[in-house]
Chain A
């Protein structure tokens, strides 16, 4: 059972381009979380998705950022018209459905986005 897979591991984009970050959750996991980590800072919640639904996007900027988790395929975090301030590590975590109080969330290795 492979862990949470994120790709690419490193992504370089010029200002104004689009960035697409992919997250394949662990097998059987239907909950996906995206977090952003700026250099020397902690992880900040962005969005929580279940299959085909956005449950909580309170941490995601209203403009240029969007996320989806389709019925088939990976979850995608999309950043349009990137700016230098978007440079960060983006982590994805997944957890199984209806896991209860002891539900574990497993993290991927992150995608490091650099905007030049």
Chain B
């Protein structure tokens, strides 16, 4: 069964600190993996998208890694800011002709001053 699991479920850090969010997936055959940021009450916004051959992708203070062999991904946030408080969602697409996106349940990050 295609699944995407994320950890931790929630995380609290102080402003300026770094953090790493984890994503494990069992989606096969794999097409791509994306990380989205969802602010409260808003739609998800794409941060990064990685295909099978890519193992790291950066977008400002966000760096995503992908290990296609172990089917794991991480999202590292550097020098966190208050505006980073949001849910971070790992999404995997299967190469099965449907392009259906399979969502993890997200990690809720809270950054305090």
B-binding residues in A (CB < 8 A): 4, 31, 33, 35, 41-45, 48, 55-56, 91, 93, 95, 99, 101-110
Q: Are A48 and B98 in contact (CB under 8 A)?
A: yes
At the interface, yes or no: B63 with Cβ under 8 Å from chain A? Answer: no
Tally of contacts, chain A with chain B, CB under 8 A: 58
Chain B 35-59 interface residues, beta-carbon cutoff 8 Å to A: 36, 41-46, 49, 51-52
Of A55, A93, A101, which is in contact with the most chain B CB atoms at under 10 Å from its CB? A101
Q: Are A93 and B46 in contact (CB under 8 A)?
A: no
Q: Are A93 and B103 in contact (CB under 8 A)?
A: no
Q: Are A45 and B89 in contact (CB under 8 A)?
A: no
Q: Are B106 and A109 in contact (CB under 8 A)?
A: no
Question: 30 interchain pairs (CB within 8 A)?
Answer: A4-B43, A42-B87, A42-B89, A42-B103, A42-B104, A42-B106, A43-B44, A44-B103, A45-B100, A45-B101, A45-B103, A48-B98, A48-B100, A55-B98, A56-B98, A56-B100, A95-B99, A99-B99, A101-B52, A101-B95, A102-B32, A102-B51, A103-B99, A105-B101, A106-B46, A107-B36, A107-B45, A108-B43, A109-B43, A110-B43
Pick from B31, B49, B102, B103: contact of A104, CB below 8 A: B49
Q: Are A102 and B49 in contact (CB under 8 A)?
A: yes
Q: Are A107 and B100 in contact (CB under 8 A)?
A: no
Complex CA–CA separation, A103 to B97 (angstroms): 13
- The interface residues of chain B lying within 8 Å CB-to-CB of A91 are 43-44
- The interface residues of chain B lying within 8 Å CB-to-CB of A41 are 105
Can you name the residue of chain A whose Cβ is closest to the Cβ of B104? A42
